[in-house]
Structure 1
Amino acid sequence: MTFQGWILILGFVAILLALTKPVGVWLFALYEGRRTPLHIVLGPVERGFYTLAGIDPNAEQGWRRYALHMLFFNVALMAFTYAVLRLQGVLPGNPQGLAGLSPHLALNTAISFTTNTNWQSYGGESTMSNLSQMLGLTIHNFLSAATGIALAFALFRGFARRESKAIGNFWADMTRVTLYILLPISIVYALFLIASGVPQTMAGVVDVQTLEGAKQSLLLGPVASQEAIKMLGTNGGGFFNANSAHPFENPTALTNLIQMLSIFLIGFGLTWTFGKAVGNTRQGWAILSAMVILFLAGVTVTYWQEAAGNPVLQHLGVAGGNMEGKEVRFGIAASALFSVVTTAASCGAVNSMHDSFTALGGMIPLFNMQLGEVVIGGVGAGIYGFLLFAILAVFVAGLMVGRTPEYVGKKIESREVKLAVLAIAVLPLMILGLTALSSVLQQGLAGPLNKGPHGFSEILYAFTSAVANNGSAFAGLTANTPYYNGLLGVAMWVGRFFIIVPMLAIAGSLAAKKYTPESAGSFPTTGGLWVGLLVGIILILGGLTFLPGLALGPIADHLAMISGTLS
């Protein structure tokens, strides 16, 4: 590890902390439905949309109606994307003449982008036409991200409102988030990427002459527009198979830093928005403190392991850290930081290959996802997932002090605890169940490139990434088969919507409750003790649940490596 590497890591966190309140203030205005400076230009667009769609933005919905509209919208989007991908071969915007996708790959991809997972069982530049990238995938990057933020707003209202049956209007939340934050930032962001050398063209291929005099065909397309929202919306699906390790997606150290910042930007801001919504911004800062502690711990382990390198190779005379699978223009520190950022959020974009990390270095991205990706999490999904753990933590605190637990003025009773447990239990049940199944069936065992612990890690990583709606992968797994496309599609759908529905039920239950003011017997939820309890609950649940799986995979892989055996 180097001093420059730590300056990058700590500077990265400092920039985000400085941006937390400004972003949170903007998000709070959208949460309340107030005007912003952009309403002068985009206000008529918003009103026109409501008129055309027949929507009254002031007609609020209970949690069941909010959930029903959200599910209907996402199912319709998934069906539309499936049709675009299947018909790709006969649709325009296909300069390479690529054929339509197979049924199982089209369904997997449609589910993937609908659920904000962006898992890719294909190479983007060799499988997707320009039209499919724009109409089928980039649009999802906006709408799946907006869905996550809208759902976070709904849960915030559950905590903030008193004796109310409504938690907002799904269509109004979606429209405002898309128009007033995702779209304007993405336009500016895309222009920055174009200026930095990222292509934005409808051309398919350009032929160039190499220094050796040979001819090489370079694939192009509308890359910058997809790259911007893929990062800002924590989507992660790359235009190219190499994702953000490709120089056409991430050409410089500056674009690499901006991409990492944009992954976390909205997640940081939403913590402040939550605190403001419940009338105490210290609540938001406490949540962010717990997130940052977990994040820095993960970065420290990953950077340490990657900088230490592989002892087997060092014994053979190859000195230095582990540069396998990393871009020289980024190096170890920026690659390690990016890997933790993208898996702490539900992004999944990569600037290095996680399959080539050291065993423990690759374990941290895996463990980040197994915690439910609540360290910062996806836009909206991170904060509402974290609040589920907060409900459990305050319940445990209530047991310790012997009274009904309270959180931000709402009593947490058996209904909320049961729903939170139901939502949190989705991850281990799906991840461990599907990993176990694929570790014994012939179709599952045909997928991993490696055998032994590392091959097991490839299977475990795939289902962890799918259920956690991340989308990154240990690339050694051959996933474009009916078996893996089918099971991973199920995992992504369950991992998204089987958490959302119980969460919205909690929002509805909390909104109907009376406000309970803090008293001398209330457990404080803004100080260091609360932050420590949150961190402990998250680590204990993740550690106890997934430690056996990690022991069979990356931990066994690490012990083999230090004993001189490589997979």
Structure 2
Amino acid sequence: MSPVLADVLLVTALIGALALVHRPFGDYMAAVFSSRRHLRVEKWIYRCVGADPDTEMRWPAYLRAVLAFSAVGVLFLYLLTRVQDRLPLSLGFAPITPDQAFNTAASFVSNTNWQSYSGESAMSHVTQTMGLAVQNFVSAAVGIAVAVALVRGFTRSRTGELGNFWADLVRGVVRVLVPVSVVAALVLIACGAVQNFGDIHTVTTLTGDRQAISPGAVASQEAIKDLGTNGGGYFNANSSHPFENPTGFTNWLEIFLLLVIPFSLPRTFGRMVGSVRQGRSIVGAMAAIWFLGVIAVTWIEYAHPGTASQLAGGAMEGKEQRFGEGPSSLFAVSTTMTSTGSVNSFHDSYSGLSGGVLLLGMMLGEIAPGGVGSGLYGMLVMAVIAVFLAGLMVGRTPEYLGKKIGSREIKLAACYLLVTPALVLVGTALAMALGEGEPSMTNAGAHGFSEVLYAYTSAGNNNGSAFAGFGADTEYHNTMLGLCMLLGRFLPMVFVLALAGSLARQQPVPATAGTLRTEKPLFTGLLVGAILIIAGLTFFPALALGPLAEGLAA
């Protein structure tokens, strides 16, 4: 079988599997977050944290709960990494330095999972499981909770109440993330992924050298890092490591896991607002952008110029021979268009234009399909913008799902859109202007600039993947990237929850002949166009200095 045909079958199988689970999984999540019943284990958790799950919250209270919970997570993870040498199963590892501990805590709590360290030589078993893996669950659940709160803003009227954060958080973990992760982890173990708490083994290689091999609870963390669009690998090689990703099937499974919730949440949205066609419109826009990205990167990598690439059938530097061009490109696009950060190849080795597509996938706001929860609420904010633009064209007050989009709503949506570009562009500019970027660059010129731009794009968008050629483990970058991750995660949530509260207070208006039909393919096209134009206008100058300049010069 030719590699191209195998790649087509791989993508077809992936799309088929996602389509197969879209309806039942989306309906299940809608039922979970609409239910009034609490499971026994959930009641026990509520008693432990002192929360009343039946108390409705307005958006300021919901936001305070999100920020307070996340702040405790940052503090706990920071302290855990600083004292890991005094805890059991330390594997002899020293405490993490203060700046790297802050970066790690900010990274995992913000669902970014950026890593400026090698996990197998820095983090103990306790840190990996009690710290990083736990945050993989709860940070993903926070994103789902905020998305559900925004959806409730569209469904409720004459009230500012958006539900209960603690109930949404616990249900997201207990009823959605844990069950699927357990099944996925068992499949990964059956396929050869490692799962133990053993000591480091020293072995003799075929060349006679001595090599240390680190074990760990790899499969369980691999499952939730992909399902929760987290991305932090147990090993520095991430999902290109055979202990994390043993076979071609597990590679396909991991891509499926990182896409399944983001692509199913639009169905949840449609169910909760009472119109599944609205959900189809949203998922159609997500799928169109993602599919275009897959085609673009795969084609560019196969067509990459050069004798070595021609002999190998494509640009194979930085890619696992076990997976090849197609699966590597599919993984790369899927991980950068979600807030995952998990990688099975190293993006630093991709061609300039491919790197530009991967950068653009993050710069769009990671909404195609985006992170767990964050992709849905980001796409809904873009839908508000698209409706507003359409209203300007026909000269009438825009409406979306029966709610008028007035000056307050559009200001909140605009503030949401400005946060990430400000963090990315200002962060990159400061790193270059202060002389902190160039010493960390492995390459000179446009490619080196792309490494710096990629790092701050990944942090500001809570992605977590890296170009792999950027030396981020410095006091400056650990601190600045940590701040970008926290601000890039929680500032947008402020505007999303404020928008949800504003919508929930409105009285729904009936549809008229002049109302834009947002469930039609025409609106899907308008939404895709608005996303590409807004991101293109914002980031094109920066892309022109890095990946575009490199690609056109090749």
TM-score between both structures, scaled by the size of structure 2: 0.98
Equivalent residue number for residue 434 of structure 1: 427
Equivalent residue number for residue 369 of structure 1: 362
Distance in 2 between residues matched to 1:283 and 1:366, nearest whole Å: 29
Q: Secondary structure at the match of 1:9?
A: helix
Task: Tell me by how many angstroms 1:51 deviates.
Answer: 2.5
Match of 1:182 among 177, 187, 209: 177
Distance in 1 between residues matched to 2:263 and 2:146, nearest whole Å: 16
Distance in 1 between residues matched to 2:391 and 2:549, nearest whole Å: 39
Task: Tell me by how many angstroms 1:14 deviates.
Answer: 2.0
Distance in 1 between residues matched to 2:453 and 2:201, nearest whole Å: 39
Equivalent residue number for residue 20 of structure 2: 18
Are residue 49 (structure 1) and residue 45 (structure 2) matched? yes
Task: Tell me by how many angstroms 1:213 deviates.
Answer: 5.9
Distance in 2 between residues matched to 1:468 and 1:131, nearest whole Å: 28
Match of 2:265 among 241, 264, 270: 270
Q: Secondary structure at the match of 1:217?
A: strand
Are residue 340 (structure 1) and residue 340 (structure 2) matched? no
Match of 1:76 among 51, 66, 72: 72
Equivalent residue number for residue 121 of structure 2: 126
Equivalent residue number for residue 90 of structure 1: 86
280-289 vs 183-192, greater mean Cα deviation: 183-192
Distance in 2 between residues matched to 1:404 and 1:46, nearest whole Å: 43
Are residue 514 (structure 1) and residue 507 (structure 2) matched? yes
Equivalent residue number for residue 326 of structure 1: 319
357-366 vs 66-75, greater mean Cα deviation: 357-366
Task: Tell me by how many angstroms 1:212 deviates.
Answer: 5.1
326-335 vs 209-218, greater mean Cα deviation: 209-218
369-378 vs 355-364, greater mean Cα deviation: 355-364
Q: Secondary structure at the match of 1:376?
A: coil
Task: Tell me by how many angstroms 1:34 deviates.
Answer: 4.9
11-20 vs 221-230, greater mean Cα deviation: 11-20
Task: Tell me by how many angstroms 1:332 deviates.
Answer: 0.4
Give matches, 1:220-299, under 5 Å: 220-299=215-294
Task: Tell me by how many angstroms 1:311 deviates.
Answer: 3.0
Equivalent residue number for residue 30 of structure 2: 28
Q: Secondary structure at the match of 2:441?
A: coil
Are residue 486 (structure 1) and residue 479 (structure 2) matched? yes
Q: Secondary structure at the match of 1:70?
A: helix
Are residue 65 (structure 1) and residue 68 (structure 2) matched? no
Task: Tell me by how many angstroms 1:45 deviates.
Answer: 0.9
Distance in 1 between residues matched to 2:110 and 2:437, nearest whole Å: 23
Distance in 1 between residues matched to 2:487 and 2:382, nearest whole Å: 19
- Residue type of the partner of 1:168? G
Match of 1:458 among 444, 451, 457: 451
Give matches, 1:281-430, under 5 Å: 281-311=276-306, 313=308, 318=311, 320-430=313-423
Distance in 1 between residues matched to 2:30 and 2:220, nearest whole Å: 26
Contact 1:310 1:358 in 2 (8 A): no
- Residue type of the partner of 1:248? F
Q: Deviations over 1:2-49 (max 9, x none)?
A: 1221221232122111211111011001110255xxx7xxx2111122
Distance in 2 between residues matched to 1:165 and 1:441, nearest whole Å: 45
Q: Secondary structure at the match of 1:248?
A: coil
Distance in 1 between residues matched to 2:208 and 2:143, nearest whole Å: 50
Q: Deviations over 1:48-79 (max 9, x none)?
A: 22233332211110000000011000001100
Q: Secondary structure at the match of 2:213?
A: strand
Task: Tell me by how many angstroms 1:222 deviates.
Answer: 1.1
Distance in 2 between residues matched to 1:417 and 1:202, nearest whole Å: 51
Are residue 474 (structure 1) and residue 467 (structure 2) matched? yes
Task: Tell me by how many angstroms 1:529 deviates.
Answer: 1.0
How many pairs are equivalent? 552
Q: Deviations over 1:330-367 (max 9, x none)?
A: 11000000000001110000000000011111211111
Task: Tell me by how many angstroms 1:83 deviates.
Answer: 0.2
RMSD: 1.3
Distance in 2 between residues matched to 1:104 and 1:319, nearest whole Å: 42
Task: Tell me by how many angstroms 1:313 deviates.
Answer: 4.3
Contact 1:166 1:511 in 2 (8 A): yes
Contact 1:309 1:320 in 2 (8 A): no
Q: Secondary structure at the match of 2:212?
A: strand
Task: Tell me by how many angstroms 1:218 deviates.
Answer: 1.5
- Which ranges in structure 2 are unaligned for 5 or more consecutive residues? none
Identity %: 50
- Residue type of the partner of 2:68? F
Q: Deviations over 1:80-114 (max 9, x none)?
A: 0000001112121212x110011100000000000
Distance in 2 between residues matched to 1:69 and 1:108, nearest whole Å: 22
- Residue type of the partner of 1:461? Y
Q: Deviations over 1:462-520 (max 9, x none)?
A: 00000000000011110000111111011101110110001000000000111112111
Task: Tell me by how many angstroms 1:417 deviates.
Answer: 0.4
Q: Secondary structure at the match of 1:425?
A: helix
Contact 1:342 1:349 in 2 (8 A): yes
Equivalent residue number for residue 132 of structure 2: 137
Task: Tell me by how many angstroms 1:195 deviates.
Answer: 1.1
Contact 1:201 1:221 in 2 (8 A): yes
- Which ranges in structure 1 are unaligned for 5 or more consecutive residues? 562-567
Distance in 1 between residues matched to 2:467 and 2:519, nearest whole Å: 38
Task: Tell me by how many angstroms 1:320 deviates.
Answer: 2.3
Distance in 2 between residues matched to 1:11 and 1:377, nearest whole Å: 20
Q: Secondary structure at the match of 2:437?
A: helix
Q: Deviations over 1:204-238 (max 9, x none)?
A: 31244444565543211111111111010000000
Give matches, 1:100-119, under 5 Å: 100-119=95-114
Distance in 1 between residues matched to 2:117 and 2:130, nearest whole Å: 17
Match of 2:141 among 139, 146, 168: 146
Distance in 1 between residues matched to 2:146 and 2:68, nearest whole Å: 14
- Residue type of the partner of 1:125? E
Q: Deviations over 1:355-391 (max 9, x none)?
A: 0011111211111000000110110000001111111
- Residue type of the partner of 1:392? I
Distance in 2 between residues matched to 1:163 and 1:277, nearest whole Å: 18
Distance in 2 between residues matched to 1:155 and 1:186, nearest whole Å: 26
Task: Tell me by how many angstroms 1:319 deviates.
Answer: 5.3
- Residue type of the partner of 1:9? V
TM-score between both structures, scaled by the size of structure 1: 0.95
Distance in 2 between residues matched to 1:390 and 1:180, nearest whole Å: 29
Distance in 1 between residues matched to 2:422 and 2:400, nearest whole Å: 28
Q: Secondary structure at the match of 2:433?
A: coil
Task: Tell me by how many angstroms 1:400 deviates.
Answer: 1.1
Match of 2:199 among 198, 204, 207: 204
Q: Secondary structure at the match of 1:439?
A: helix
Are residue 99 (structure 1) and residue 94 (structure 2) matched? yes
